Structure 1
Amino acid sequence: MGMGLEEALKCVHCGFCLESCPTYVVTRSEIHSPRGRITAVKLGIDSEGLKTCMFCRKCEIACPSGVKYSEIFVNSRKSNPLERSMLRLLEKPSSLALPLKIGMGVETSLPLEYRDQNEDLIIFPGCLTSVISRSSVEKAVKYFKGLGYNVKVINTCCGLAHSHVGENKRAMDIVQKLREEFKGKTVVSLSSNCSAFMKENGLDVYDFPEFVLSKNLPLPKVNEKVTIHYPCHAHVVGIEGYIRKMAEKLGLTIMDSDDPYFECGAGGSQIFFNKQISSDVMSRKKEKVMKSGVNTVISTNPSCTLAFIKMGLKPIHLVDLL
């Protein structure tokens, strides 16, 4: 029995997952719900629902039976050639700038390449941060160098996007490569979902606000009103709390949105390949954000940042405030 099917059989179809699922919330369709997707796996059906899953994993948090939906999904999802081509681009962020600018209409730049001699701290922007927010990477370098660190920037994919479309072997190959590159170094990730994925796969890394708070690094005071979005995978592994704690330490006035944990709408590759359902989730997310009364959103994950840009909101990373 396959790992995905074995886990699927633990589901008792109680329905607690339904309202936690962004695609069910916007479609009200059982096909696009965790329960519906699990049913398809049990029946061996190549359901459309398996292609629309945003892999936010909020269903895992909601499930009273402790079903590991992510294990079912990554062992059942099959990638297509277009998705595999996109994944290769993510592994080389320098190749992403033009496609993102043309395809998504967002401002892009080439990734920052930087390395000090005898580096003792690695800054890991992930694949998208370097391209859609190079200034955030530059500020991270300046901040850490100002504190006496020798830094190196590594621009690549963590493997999460591969896992999302069922490219598990490639994902684990990337994790192993990173394990070798990170050996003996302190690693600080600027992408919270990358941080979560790497932590879950045994890599010793810090999310940016986690590192700042853990090391009690100095912070300025910032007089600004913001709301906060908590990235999905960071929430699953329990590191999202550092985001708010750092925001509070910065002195920010935090205006709470309606369900700041709700999926942003980017949903892994959905923002590229399932644009209608992605747009519907983004519309729902924007409504929730706007209930905060502000349009400046703390976003520590680049795909979420991309979604907020598409919504017409103002996403900023915590590092942008230093």
Structure 2
Amino acid sequence: MRKGLAGLLGALLPMAAAHAGFTPLGLPGSQVVALSRDGCFAAGSLVSGPAGGFRWSAAGGVELLREAVTVRGLSASGRYVSGSVFDEQARQVAGYWDADGRLHRLGGLADWAAIGQVSEAFGISDEPRVVGNARRRAEGPAAFVWSPAEGLRELPVPARGAATHAVGLGDGGRVYGWMQTPQGASGVLWQDGRTQILAGAAGEVLGADHRGQILLGLATRGGSAHSVYRWRAADGARVLVEDGLQAQPMLFAASDDGRIAVGGTGTGERREAVVWIEGRSLLTLAQVLAEHAIPLPANWKPSVLTAVSGDGRRLAGWGSFDGRLDSFVVDLDAGAALQDCASRP
């Protein structure tokens, strides 16, 4: 990727030194939200500072996205970043940054004209195609898909009056997300012109693996969250974490084989990063670090894990360092995966 580009890359910061598998990004106010499939790139939002978002690479460090309002997604290769920016009328609209550093504003649905938030991009592929959510005049939010050939269009509504939310893109053009009706929330897939309501996935879809084959969600009962589920085409929905925990966990991303999923529990100062491992259920990040003999640097308190590479070797998240927000990556191979990324441009 090109560096030092006007409008996208405000600064190039050196990568923080690795701590035996735990690598702080050294970017105050940052909240990483996504990893590329190989784990060599990350992207996230900045709560404070000279920019609203960033893209990080193991080889090149941090690139600031100065016009970003939010950052929500990263393509599988790490070349494209999605989120939102302001348009010329100071409205928040969906946008993405390409591999050459150009910002592309996507606007909103044709029948919407208002102040405030018009649309926001969440998932992005390497074609690129973009999915996200936009406001409608008459009803709730609508899931959309954007492509260079067709522009921005609303995805089909699977049930009359439903509010729809697109979360991400998978292989083969599959779009995953969820819908909300008076009866509750359900997972939804859009692919090849068809819309599928996911049986058993009774709750919001929060994330997936990089292929979009394994969906993670928060099941609800009586309007309240009660368990974390995983959905796969082969075996449908399965509860991964039962209710009854003091702090409701949420899982946001999975490895491509589905054996590892990452997330967090609690809120505020009680947040704690967690890892779900097939056959072992839910572990805290502190337990995982100890098992891999990875020391946690002094004054660090990880709050949540938001991303994992396709092979499950690298995790990413954010927390507090000396009482301020910052982001980190965790290399479960004690440095091997970071070294593999060092030669990537």
TM-score band w.r.t. shorter chain = under 0.3
Task: Using structure 2 for the length normalisation, give the TM-score.
Answer: 0.26
Task: Using structure 1 for the length normalisation, give the TM-score.
Answer: 0.27
- Higher relative helix content: 1
